[in-house]
Amino acid sequence: MVRTDTKVIRWQAGAFRVWTFPGTGTFLGAGGQLFSQLKNQALCRWDGTESRELSRDPLVAGPSVMRLYPAEAGTLLGMNSAGGFFRLRDTQVEPVAPAFKATLGSARLICALPRPRGGWYAGTDRAGVLVTDADG
């Protein structure tokens, strides 16, 4: 399977199959699954034949979703470009570490990695690496 900013291309049964998305977005892999965020619309999950909408929650449909990580009991943890962290449980989006965004201030979030016992290691453009607890 190959992806571009608007298409997924798959070689199957001796031929290429192409799926085109309605706009540009971000493709993310986590927990053996493929997700796409349609910019300012929705977070979707690829089910092997098509992309199905999971949520239009502002945490996953607004700012760019930058990373998704497998977490406990089949959930996923994620972060967006505005400094929002979330947990995705099936189609439900729950905010995680809500105090972090205030701590971030005017710094821009570049990357983040969940800590083994909760919280995040978060890399920023101005504040260096911030280490949070589960609440942010």
| pLDDT tens figures, 57-103 | 999 998 888 889 998 888 999 988 888 889 999 899 999 888 887 88
Question: In whole angstroms, how far apart are CA 102 and each of 10, 63, 78, 107?
Answer: 42, 16, 18, 10
In this structure, are strands 85-89 and 51-55 parallel, antiparallel, or unpaired?
unpaired
pTM: 0.79
**pLDDT, position 135:** 67
- Both tokens assigned to 74: 């089949």
Query: How many other CB atoms are there within 10 angstroms of residue 42's CB atom?
Result: 18
Q: What is the pLDDT of residue 120?
A: 86
Give the whole-number percent of the chain exceeding pLDDT 90.
21
Write out the two tokens for 120: 């995040």
The answer to whether 78 and 55 have CB atoms below 8 angstroms apart is no
For residue range 37-61, list pLDDT tens digits in order: 888 889 999 887 778 899 999 999 9
Chain-centroid distance of CA 7 in Å reads 18
Residue 117, SS3 per DSSP? coil
